[in-house]
Amino acid sequence: MDKIKVKSTIVEIDGDEMARIMWKMVKEKLLLPHLFMNVEYYDLHIKNRDVTNDQVTIDAATAIMRHGVGVKCATITPNEDRVREYNLKRLWKSPNGTIRTLLDGTVFRKPILVKNISSSVSAWKRPITIGRHAYGDVYSNTEMRINSPGRAELVFTPAGGGRPVKQIIKEFAEAGIIQGIHNTDKSIESFAKACFTFALDQKIDLWFSTKDTISKTYDARFRDIFEEEYKKNWKLKFAKSGLSYFFTLIDDAVARIIKSEGGILWALKNYDGDVMSDMIASAYGSLAMMTSVLVSPRGYYEYEAAHGTVQKHYYKHLKGGRTSTNPMAIIFAWSGCLRRRGELDATPHVVSFADKLEESAISTIESGIMTGDLLLVADKSPDNKKVTTKAFIDAVAENLRKKLSG
Ligand code: NAP
Ligand code: MG
């Protein structure tokens, strides 16, 4: 069978540890046998980020802006342990944070549902998608340890001159901590637009929640911008499609989500989205059963695996142990990226390949062949069999071959 040609360039961003090992297997066994792809490769292995003084991360983000579509493996965000482990020059920033700040945008995370795994929240029948604002707040904060008594102030100095505006944060009588965070109206507006666009596109209701009762300026600004955007640009379109937009306090949203049937987009601020997406993923089975895409307001897309580098499994692998790490999120990062590439290039055979790849992966799990994380949560069946990462990918490859030749 002839290989399928992917017309335009894909930006490939490699990563670390077990995720990197699965990444290579997915490429070699599921993609390269069937596709001619022109990839621009950026190696974000922690050592290469160190050698390039993290320039490679910036180059990768810039490449996505040039080509429109990228796919990223999980990467280590260094902490003190990692600095020692890899003998790093310094504590480099989170590559995801750097890329998100450059591309701006919103991260949409949607669980991958399979028939033989029911959600641990029995009310959830349809996927709950999280729309996470990917700019600002605590991810680009400035924080300080206070070691002695003194006054901490918030000061804004207008660029054009004029009197600085000051507010007291705390008169410290003893040691403590402070933190400054920010956001911009422009970024919140594009977050709102991205969420309304996504909900309309997927024909699902949109919920948005913040802590506006406590944060009467910061969180309330998010609420107001969403409200203005909705009234101005979406109310009519939503009504025509029978969809609704609903804002509520985050506490209330959490309580309601647990009782809902799912099938909604839940828009969340950066930190809330970080936390809630892990909760949703594990309720639907595993961290590895989640798709994730960063949608930038300028039309760039970055597909990624939402889980980390799976460090514990990697150490086991290094010691020669057999690992049963789940590559689903990596497979779906590639399929998502290929589908988008195919849509932008108007090459339906690439879109169809992406569909078949996903169907092959889902049907493998539904036939009972699964990695260890899923065996724990799958409906009990004599067909269920825990396999290694390699055996799982081989089984998907076999299904895919049949689908492509059928
Ligand atoms: P993690 O890699 O997500 O793994 C945490 C645990 O979740 C694993 O030990 C494993 O549980 C389970 N798990 C995650 N992905 C799995 C998969 N594909 N298959 C099976 N089980 C899976 O998080 P971490 O260990 O806290 O972080 C490791 C590194 O990843 C850190 O250096 C962190 O900076 C980085 N990280 C990167 C990203 C990203 O680039 N997107 C996101 C988060 C974290 P069991 O051990 O119980 O099997
Ligand atoms: Mg998280």
Give 361 Cα–ligand 2 centroid separation in angstroms. Answer: 24
Residues 6+ away with beta carbon under 8 Å from 360: 396, 397, 399, 400, 403
Q: How confident is the model at residue 296 (pLDDT cuts 50, 70, 90)?
A: confident
Q: How confident is the model at residue 348 (pLDDT cuts 50, 70, 90)?
A: very high
Nearest ligand 1 atom to the CA of 292 is: 41
Of the ligands numbered here, which is closest to the C-alpha atom of 93?
1
Give 153 Cα–ligand 2 centroid separation in angstroms. Answer: 31
Query: Which spans in 217-310 are helix H?
Result: 218-229, 235-240, 250-259, 270-283
Quickly list DSSP for 8-28: S-EEEEE--HHHHHHHHHHII
- pLDDT for 133-171, tens place per residue? 988 999 889 999 999 999 999 999 999 999 999 999 999
- Three-state DSSP class for residue 294: strand
- pLDDT for 235-288, tens place per residue? 999 999 999 999 999 999 999 999 999 999 999 999 999 999 888 988 887 889
Quickly list DSSP for 130-182: EEEE-SSGGGG-EEEEE-SSEEEEEEE--TT-SPPEEEEEEEESS-EEEEE--
Give 71 Cα–ligand 1 centroid separation in angstroms. Answer: 18
Q: Which of 297, 295, 251 is nearest to 276 (CA)?
A: 251
Q: How confident is the model at residue 119 (pLDDT cuts 50, 70, 90)?
A: confident
Q: Return the pLDDT at 2.
A: 85
Best residue among 86, 284, 307 to mutate for probing ligand 1's pocket (most ligand atoms within 8 Å of CB) is 307
Residues 6+ away with beta carbon under 8 Å from 39: 9, 10, 11, 12
The rounded distance, in Å, linking the Cα atoms of 281 and 292 is 11
Q: Name residues with Cβ closer than 5 Å to ligand 2, which is an ion.
A: 274, 278
- pLDDT for 200-220, tens place per residue? 988 999 999 999 999 999 999
Nearest ligand 1 atom to the CA of 310 is: 2
pLDDT at 318 over 80: yes
- Three-state DSSP class for residue 330: helix
Nearest ligand 1 atom to the CA of 330 is: 18
Give 280 Cα–ligand 2 centroid separation in angstroms. Answer: 11
DSSP assigned state of 112: P
Across 51-105, the runs of DSSP E, i.e. the strands, are 69-72
Pocket of ligand 1 (CB under 6 A): 74-77, 96, 287-288, 304, 307-312, 325-326, 373
